[in-house]
């Protein structure tokens, strides 16, 4: 039981470090890039932790997991709230909360079942691999959307300038 307490404390320590890191960011920081990197850290931390047998190394990598998890959750929430129209913000956050908290019991059941069949270490490794794969798939899409938005804004600005110049 005390080892489990140490493991949970390591996650909490990493989460607190992640919160301090996010609080120290300057306005205008590239949250999408930080989200991508910290999601990779989260997945890599899980993957490495799944193969460890020494407590000190496990505590270190669980701190990395806590850091990535805290920053991923906070940045996701921030991006949703800052990119949604004010009239829709409450509804969107409600769906986000429903998905986030509503899927945890279902995910717990699935992870427990998978762990029963392939073992806890392999299940944690699979979670780490899935997290990394999701980051590698979604990360470029986040930047692609930003490029499209910036490109559209530049086109709109060019159109406004051409109208002003001719009118």
Q: Is the pLDDT of residue 33 over 70?
A: yes
Q: Would you say the pTM of this structure is higher than 0.85?
A: no
**Structural domains of the chain, ranges and CATH numbers in brackets:** 2-135 (1.20.1250.20)
Handedness of CA 95, 131, 143, 64 (dihedral sign): positive
Packing angle of the helix pair 55-83, 2-23 (nearest 10 deg) = 40
Question: So what's the pLDDT on residue 143?
Answer: 72
Mean pLDDT score, 134-148? 77
**pLDDT (average), residues 135-158:** 66
Question: Among residues 101, 96, 38, 97, which one has the least CA distance to residue 70?
Answer: 38
Q: What is the pLDDT of residues 75-127, one digit of tens each?
A: 999 988 888 888 888 899 899 889 889 999 999 999 999 999 999 999 999 99
pLDDT band at residue 1 using 50, 70 and 90 as cut-offs: confident
SS3 labels along 81-120: HHHCCCCCHHHHHHHHHHHHHHHHHHHHHHHHHHHHHHCH
Confidence of residue 156 (pLDDT cuts 50, 70, 90): low
Q: Which residues contact 54 (CB under 8 A, 6 or more apart)?
A: none
- pLDDT surpasses 70 at 153: no
Cβ atoms of 19 and 31 closer than 8 Å: no
What is the reported pLDDT for 6?
Answer: 95
Q: What is the rounded (10 degree) CA torsion for 16, 72, 119, 4?
A: 10
Please determine, for residue 151, whether its predicted confidence score (pLDDT) is greater than 90.
no
Distance of CA 147 to the CA centre of its chain: 20
Residue-level pLDDT at 86: 87
């Amino acid at each position: 039981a005390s080892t489990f307490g140490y493991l949970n404390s390591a996650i909490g320590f990493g989460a607190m470090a992640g919160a301090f890191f996010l609080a120290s960011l300057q306005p205008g920081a590239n949250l999408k890039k930080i989200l991508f990197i910290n999601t990779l850290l989260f997945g890599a931390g899980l993957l490495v932790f799944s193969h460890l047998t020494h407590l000190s190394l496990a505590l270190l990598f669980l701190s990395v997991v806590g850091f990535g998890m805290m920053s991923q959750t906070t940045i996701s929430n921030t991006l949703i709230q800052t990119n949604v129209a004010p009239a829709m913000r409450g509804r969107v956050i409600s769906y986000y909360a429903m998905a986030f908290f509503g899927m945890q019991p279902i995910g717990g059941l699935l992870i427990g079942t998978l762990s029963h069949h392939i073992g806890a270490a392999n299940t944690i490794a699979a979670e780490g691999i899935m997290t990394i794969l999701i980051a590698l798939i979604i990360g470029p899409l986040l930047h692609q959307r930003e490029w499209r938005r910036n490109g559209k804004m530049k086109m709109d600005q060019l159109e406004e300038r051409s109208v002003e110049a001719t009118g």
